[in-house]
Amino acid sequence: MVTRRQLLTLLILTLMWGINWPMMKLSLREISPLYFRALTMTVGSMVLFFWFRAKGMRMWPQGAEWRSVVVLGLPNMLGWHTISILGVKELASGRAATLGFTMPIWTVVLGVLFLGEKLTRRVALAAVCVAVAIGLLISHEFASMAGRPMGIVWMEIAALVWAVGTLMMRRTTLTLPAATLTVWMMILASACLWVIAALSEPWPVWQFSGLMWLSLAYGAFINYGLAQTLWVDLTLKLPPVTSAMGITAVPLIGTMTATFIVGEWPHWQDFVAIVFVMTAMAAVLLPPQFFRRIKASA
């Protein structure tokens, strides 16, 4: 049973992650995307390392556990966070969030295509809903003179990479605590990001506005710090479906708050796309008995 405190934590987490999308867009006005990711992830991983260690968790992988950190960290942390920030740079932040959160649907579709999982009507409905949502956003990007259709490509690649990482995570037997795995995936990914950024982007000036420093602090201490501690705690205490469904509102929060944070006004395509994505997520994440109860009560 989900307690009131857990529901409140889930709500706070959803707000944090939703607001993070326009906050990232705000940061990219004064810093290049890869250096932004490298800086915020480095600080966030250090905060988490000392926080979890102070709580008495085992924080050092041993032997073959390092292989799990590297193999799982490549798609789940380095791949998703690197590719998605390139999409955020090109797109409105709410639109990028909507596309990024197609990940659960791609996880199910990939399982059907490559892992022999059963194709159900719910999976088919989810695939159609995602296709409609992507089509709506693509149509607006191409219709606009300032459209950035490549941003949609970046976000969908990021979602696919994250989906692959999720499938790998499900099929890996872990001996590491979830918190330790998360922290070390972040540490190694941030180290790689510093190298990639140095090879592809100019060195930042580091003379930012006060609002910029605030957005960087949000990314480091809230998105990669506090939000990650709340998420790890929830995933250990709640059923996977409950925790996953709890964050379906993240794209909606990102779209609504972007108006106030970065002045992005959503179009009708954005809201309709969010409805289709949330419908698709419900189709693949809600347990079958939920739909049976609805059918029985109709």
Average pLDDT over residues 160-185: 91
pTM value surpassing 0.85: yes
Alpha-carbon span 46 to 225, nearest angstrom: 9
- pLDDT(175) > 70: yes
CA distances from 255 to 12, 20, 40, 62, 271 (A): 17, 11, 22, 42, 8
Q: What is the band of 144 on the pLDDT scale with cuts at 50, 70, 90?
A: low
How is residue 42 written in tokens? Answer: 């480095």
If you average pLDDT over every residue of the chain, what do you get?
87
Average pLDDT over residues 250-265: 91
Average pLDDT over residues 109-138: 85
Q: Please choose, from the candidates 29, 50, 156, 184, the residue with its C-alpha nearest in 3D space to the C-alpha of residue 95.
A: 156
How do residues 177-198 score in pLDDT, each as one tens digit?
A: 989 999 999 999 999 999 999 9
Q: What is the band of 245 on the pLDDT scale with cuts at 50, 70, 90?
A: low
Share of the chain above pLDDT 90, in %: 51
- Domain hosting 219: range is 4-297
Q: Is 268 left (phi over 0), alpha (psi -120 to 50) or beta?
A: alpha
> Of 71-75, 96-100, 229-233, 258-262, which gets the smallest average pLDDT?
229-233
Average pLDDT over residues 150-170: 91
What domain count does the chain have? 1
Q: Check residue 239 and give its pLDDT.
A: 62
Q: Check residue 152 and give its pLDDT.
A: 87
- pLDDT(294) > 80: no
Q: Check residue 243 and give its pLDDT.
A: 60
Average pLDDT over residues 33-49: 97
What 3-state class would DSSP assign to 92? Answer: coil
Full 3-state SS string of 31-63: CCHHHHHHHHHHHHHHHHHHHHHHCCCCCCCCC
Average pLDDT over residues 275-283: 85
Q: Check residue 44 and give its pLDDT.
A: 96
Q: Check residue 279 and give its pLDDT.
A: 87
> Of 12-16, 35-39, 57-61, 277-281, which gets the smallest average pLDDT?
277-281
How do residues 221-239 score in pLDDT, each as one tens digit?
A: 999 999 988 887 777 676 6
CA distances from 107 to 96, 115, 125, 168, 272 (A): 18, 11, 14, 10, 22
Q: What is the band of 9 on the pLDDT scale with cuts at 50, 70, 90?
A: confident
Q: Check residue 145 and give its pLDDT.
A: 42
